[in-house]
Amino acid sequence: MFASKPPMPVDPELLPILAALSAGPRLAELPLAQLREGPPPIPLSSPARMVEVTDLRIPTSEGGLPARLYRPSEVRPLPLLIYFHGGGFVLGSVDSHDIITRALARAADCAVLSVDYRLAPEYRFPAAVDDCIAAIGWAHAHAAGLEVDAGRMAVGGDSAGGNLATVAAIHARDEGGPPIAGQLLIYPVTRLRAPAEGSMLENGRGYFLQADDMAWFESHYLGESGDPDHPDASPLLAPRLDRLPPAFVLTAEFDPLRDQAEQYAARMRAAGVDVTQVRFTGAIHGFFGMPIAIGQRAVKEAADWLTRRLRPGPPRPPGNSLRV
């Protein structure tokens, strides 16, 4: 689709960050506990100030899920973004993504509920899917207590979290779940064990997230018995993608996940879903929210779209668009 455009170089502000990340040990070289306890590998900006931040637990049939609710203003009720963090289904937490969720709450002027779903390999597929579905249902049922607007509720996430957000949206469609106003998908994983072709091959080495990292994450998430082709693991392979909430799909040029995310956007658009797709040239996986111009611009574009989707009033006409 984009073959007519020559590739742009990596954004100059990303080059020293990429060099530092590339010099570190690979995922498989460190104990899992050390990976989870260490500082985030990607530099982030200063935290946006909130009026209120509340840690809570979401009850589920498997126990309670830690979550964090951010309120950027005194307005009540606020629209709500339910956010699922990235980390390959193995790493990440509400703490690791605190900067990003604060930034989105501030820029979009909405409440954000950040969810700590269960991680692999302790809890393999589909535990995380079940948790995210449960969190959406709980948030909708308890909207009044949370002082959020149940009619203006979106889901979102980055990388693995983007996978979980869109899988949960499919379940909501098929199972009479809560109404979802939009999907904010930041370089989402949409196909596990993707073929070594296109961006997975071109960007599979040297751009922070590597092909062997994806294999490491997937082995932890799926184990020996998990089916990588199941639609709950690989929504790109879902039999139908019609009647899904409007979506904002952000991709990065030098990301091995670029093609699968863009293919997912194209499939949704072909099914009649209102899709806005933006590819950031010169960007790498994980750049969203970095304290550099391109990272902050990405947050602003995502938040601007979310603000429009969650604005009160009559339904907006479809606005399919694609930009590189």
Question: Which amino acid appears at position 264 of this protein?
Answer: Y
Question: Using an 8 Å Cβ cutoff, are 117 and 164 in contact?
Answer: yes
- The 3 state secondary structure assigned to the chain is CCCCCCCCCCCHHHHHHHHHHHHCCCHHHCCHHHHHHCCCCCCCCCCCCCCEEEEEEEEECCEEEEEEEEECCCCCCEEEEEEECCCCCCCCCCCCCHHHHHHHHHHHCCEEEEECCCCCCCCCCCHHHHHHHHHHHHHHHCHHHHCEEEEEEEEEEECHHHHHHHHHHHHHHHCCCCCCCEEEEECCCCCCCCCCCHHHHHCCCCCCCCHHHHHHHHHHHHCCCCCCCCCCCCHHHCCCCCCCCCEEEEEEEECCCHHHHHHHHHHHHHCCCCEEEEEEEEEECCCCCCCCHHHHHHHHHHHHHHHHHHCCCCCCCCCCEEEC
How far apart, in whole angstroms, are the C-alpha atoms of residue 125 and residue 130? 9
Strands of the 321-323 sheet, one edge to the other:
52-60, 63-71, 111-115, 78-84, 148-158, 182-186, 247-254, 275-284, 321-323
Positions marked active-site? 159, 255, 285
In order of 163, 241, 264, the CA distances from 271 in angstroms are: 18, 6, 11
